[in-house]
Structure 1
Amino acid sequence: MTETIHVDQFLAQPPAKVWRMLTEPDRLARWWAAGDIRPEVGHRFTLDMGGWGRQPCTVTEVDDERLLSYTFGEGGVDWTITWRLVAEGTGTRLFLEHGGFDLDDPGHQKSFTNMSRGWAGSVLPRLARELEEVAAS
């Protein structure tokens, strides 16, 4: 049985600005991870996850300013990260799904717990702060 992390975050910027933070390498590196991402189905890239190494990714789905999905990980890990952007007032509701955790595997169980906390408590709030800084400059 696989499990998926679900997190959503309201961001006080329109979808076009959020999209740029998700799909432009220099912006993505400022709040999450360095990598040569490009919103093009089939594009292969890596994300530098620091102590966890460079993770190979492949873009699987793109709907400009609405949806970006890619595989994530190596060594038998079959994870998918999906970002869905929905306009909400003058801002954006960003939905994250990080799927493919095999909860029968103790390593996956630990990753699921840690990443659930990390996405909600650290990574998406960093994105919100980065968007605020960019808007203020």
Structure 2
Amino acid sequence: MTGTDPTAIHCDQYIAHPPAAVWRALTDPGLHARWWAAGDVRPVVGHRFTLDMGPWGQQECEVLTVEPERLLRYSFAPGSLDTTITWRLSPEGSGSRLFLEHAGFDLESPLGKAAFGGMGHGWPDVLARIEPALTAAS
């Protein structure tokens, strides 16, 4: 689950759709809500949005980096978790490989440690929901 940074979660998922389709899953609010969380995500640097994380509440985010169909990075839960989520897309065969890095967890705080553990186990399941959401939307 982790790479060389002990405060980051790393995982990836092959998705049998081209990068343009996976990019839509990451950046189209309606599609995003089908596989992860409702929120007004947009691929515009500086755009602020909120993700509805159900029992974990509303999480504020701000887009930090956009490279269309390649990279999307945003802050996640500033003021509480203070983490950064980075999505990186790479073509692979007739589909795409989606890489996730969720970084910046404060493992010295009880909240940071609990979130790191929970999200470390949860992210692979979240990524696995993208392909079915794209297939249902096409």
One fold, TM greater than 0.5? yes
Correspondences of 1:102-113 after superposition (within 5 Å):
102-113=106-117
How far apart are the structure 1 equivalents of 2:80 and 2:137?
A: 37
How far apart are the structure 2 equivalents of 1:40 and 1:107?
A: 29
Q: Higher strand fraction: Structure 1 or Structure 2?
A: 1
Shift of 1:123: 0.5
Please point out which of 15, 31, 37 is paired with 1:33.
Answer: 37
Structure 1 stretches of 5 or more lacking a match? none
Tell me which residue corresponds to 1:101. 105
Give the secondary-structure state (helix, strand or coil) at the position aligned to 2:108: coil
Shift of 1:133: 2.4
Preserved contact between residue 79 and residue 100 of structure 1 (Cα < 8 Å): yes
Tell me which residue corresponds to 2:8. 4
Identity of aligned residues (%): 57
Q: Deviations over 1:82-127 (max 9, x none)?
A: 000000011000000001111122221111111011001x211111
**Please, what TM-score do these two structures have when normalized by structure 1?**
0.92
How far apart are the structure 2 equivalents of 1:65 and 1:75?
A: 29
Preserved contact between residue 81 and residue 106 of structure 2 (Cα < 8 Å): no
Task: Give the number of equivalent residue pairs.
Answer: 134
Tell me which residue corresponds to 1:128. 131
Give the secondary-structure state (helix, strand or coil) at the position aligned to 1:84: strand
Preserved contact between residue 81 and residue 111 of structure 2 (Cα < 8 Å): no
Which 4+ residue blocks in structure 1 deviate beyond 4 angstroms? Answer: none
Correspondences of 1:61-100 after superposition (within 5 Å):
61-100=65-104
Give the secondary-structure state (helix, strand or coil) at the position aligned to 2:126: helix
RMSD value, Cα: 1.4
Structure 2 stretches of 5 or more lacking a match? none
**Please, what TM-score do these two structures have when normalized by structure 2?**
0.92
Q: Which amino acid aligns with 2:108?
A: D
